[in-house]
Structure 1
Amino acid sequence: MRADDRIAIADDGAGIVLAPAPGEGATGTALVFIPGAKVDPWAYAALLSGLVTDDGLAVVITTPGLNLAFFDLRPLSTFTGLAPDVGTWMVGGHSLGGVRACQLASDAGALVLFASYCANDLSGSALPVLSLAGSEDGLSTPQMIADARHLLPADATMIEIPGASHASHASFGDYGAHPGDGTPTRPTPKSAPSSRIKSANWRPACPDAAAGDIRPPRPGRWRRCPSQPGRWRRCPSRPGRWRRCPP
């Protein structure tokens, strides 16, 4: 990843934090991103950087032991604690990292799957979910994602990117070809994750001080979800989520 004055980078061993530099319009929303198996976490930094520079999100890329995130048993709070000023948290991951993200999703405000699918049942939740997949993926194939679709909420946003493979040529990660990835049939821009999330007009739920509950994003609109000073705050009982708390 090239140096960029718009991004503040920190790496404390638990995760790599990419955040808007001071004065760059941080939105108070962030993504915990869990890498795929045996992939260097830094391989995702350049592709996810567009979420920071273009959209004001912070990104925490987890750094599991032996690069095997699926067996990383640390709770989501381990990673949300690396960016304490964030109020709204999404969790997501690539490949097996996405499977792990599904297991942590109950502690987040939204779930984003990158060439992945859930093994646990989230269909009964109100969680906003976005699935980004490639038509040429040879590992998380379109059929496998379709077969696991029933485990997601009925209103999950499902996007299949034409020509994208599992990871090679920067479809979802910039770490070169792995056996079984599939062959991409068209080039994928380096800002693919950011542009695809934005093109879906998708955003996690945010607090509505008037309604007194969590409000889903407005269809067809990409917007910021500001906190409500004095009325909403983070509560220890629901790490990474905003709710109305007792005084």
Structure 2
Amino acid sequence: MQKKKRRILKRVLWSVVLVIVIAIGGTLAWTQIGVMPAEKGPLAEARANPSITIDDTSEGIVLSPADGVSETGLVFIPGAKVDPWAYVAILQDVAAEGTTVVITRPWLNLAFFDLRGLDTFTSAAPDIDEWGVGGHSLGGVRACQLAEDADALVLFGSYCATDLSDADLGVLSLAGSEDLLSTPEKIAGARHLLPAGAELVEIEGASHASFGDYGPQSGDGTPTISAEEMRATVTELLVPFTQIPPR
């Protein structure tokens, strides 16, 4: 009777282990399937931009002004299962104007799985003292969690799940009128979690995928703004903010 109980217990334990292994394996597989790659054209144009340097480092993809003069930095976290290189083109002009940009590579392509602190990424440019943190979509949610260690927060088609209403930092939140994933309504609905001085801007014609260069995204709206116009608009809004973030 005792042996029979031990056999049953052993089978139960092995079944539990098997379920855990399958669950972990399935999760790992899911994080690697359907990753949205960077579009080759915009990336090639950014690589050819003489006003910036692009370095592929352990901290992330680092965009720096070609003259080496940079007093502020921005750590930028990609959206879920989006190739980090997809944000190089839209952020290149921000770097060209004097802000060093570090685009992170989230663990397993999902920002929530990446538990590294902000200093892991700011170490790419140790001479810079003023750092903002930002992100797109799920990357923005993670950026909110790191924002208390930063001087500013930038959100692309995203909103916080963390209460930063009492935080002493500047916030620039960009929404897209055609974004059907992080809709302007959802972003406005989470406004109370941001500091009183946070600036919310809705970009007319922008979809969720307009904030990067990785092609259409399932469930998103159809953009009516061109990639060139989007890049110019984001640059116009982001450059003055990253250089002197309002509080």
* Bin of the TM-score, shorter chain as denominator length: 0.7 to 0.9
Tell me the equivalent position of 2:12: none
Matching of residue 44 in structure 1 with residue 87 in structure 2: yes
Tell me the equivalent position of 2:3: none
What is the CA–CA distance in structure 2 between the aligned matches of 1:65 and 1:155, rounded to whole Å? 32
What is the CA–CA distance in structure 2 between the aligned matches of 1:179 and 1:112, rounded to whole Å? 24
| Stretches of structure 1 lacking an aligned partner (at least 5 in a row) | 207-215, 218-247
Matching of residue 96 in structure 1 with residue 138 in structure 2: yes
Q: TM-score under structure 1 normalisation?
A: 0.76
Deviation, 1:204, is 6.2
* Correspondence for 1:176 among 198, 201, 215: 215
What is the CA–CA distance in structure 2 between the aligned matches of 1:29 and 1:204, rounded to whole Å? 6
Does the Cα contact within 8 Å between 2:59 and 2:102 map onto a contact in 1? no
Residue pairs, 1:11-160, within 5 angstroms: 11-21=56-66, 23=67, 26-53=69-96, 55-160=97-202
Residue pairs, 1:188-207, within 5 angstroms: 188-189=227-228, 190-198=231-239, 202-203=241-242
What is the CA–CA distance in structure 2 between the aligned matches of 1:183 and 1:147, rounded to whole Å? 22
Percent of matched pairs sharing the same residue:
62
Q: CA RMSD in A?
A: 1.7
* Correspondence for 1:161 among 191, 203, 226: 203
What SS does structure 1 have at the residue aligned with 2:95?
helix
Rg larger in structure = 2
Residue pairs, 1:207-246, within 5 angstroms: 216=246
Deviation, 1:197, is 2.0
Amino acid of the structure 1 residue aligned with 2:223: P
Amino acid of the structure 2 residue aligned with 1:136: E
Q: Which has the higher helix share?
A: 2
| Stretches of structure 2 lacking an aligned partner (at least 5 in a row) | 1-42
Does the Cα contact within 8 Å between 2:132 and 2:242 map onto a contact in 1? no
Amino acid of the structure 2 residue aligned with 1:90: G
Q: Which has the higher strand share?
A: 1
Deviation, 1:85, is 1.6
What is the CA–CA distance in structure 1 between the aligned matches of 2:161 and 2:142, rounded to whole Å? 9
Deviation, 1:70, is 2.2
Deviation, 1:192, is 3.7
Amino acid of the structure 1 residue aligned with 2:72: T
